[in-house]
Amino acid sequence: MTDWLPSLITATPAEGYDLAVRLARMTVKMTQADPEVRERLRVQYAQDPDALIAISQAVATHFAAVAAANGYWRPS
């Protein structure tokens, strides 16, 4: 697998958030390698409030780490 995660450093918080979403999704990809199964499950959880909220929680945990990595993008 090419280096899908070369760095945690991003130019902006919005890019940091996108990275956090990718980080959250990568575990699903590593655990369920079949893209067809993942797409079938996606249709399910995209309609399930509890699942959507749980995804938001996983992204929040990753975003906290990415934000810390970037010094919270504080203007130096």
Count of residues interacting with a second copy (CB under 8 A): 53
Q: Taking the complex as a whole, how short is the minimal distance between the CB of residue 54 and a second copy, in angstroms?
A: 4
In the window 21-50, what residues touch a second copy (CB under 8 A)?
21, 23-28, 30-32, 37, 41, 44-50
Residue 62 contacts a second copy per CB under 8 A: yes
Reduce the secondary structure of the chain to three states and give it as a string. CCCCCCCCCCCCHHHHHHHHHHHHHHHHHHHCCCHHHHHHHHHHHCCCHHHHHHHHHHHHHHHHHHHHHCHHHCCC
Q: Enumerate binding residues for a second copy (CB under 8 A).
A: 1, 3-9, 12-14, 17, 21, 23-28, 30-32, 37, 41, 44-65, 67-69, 72-75
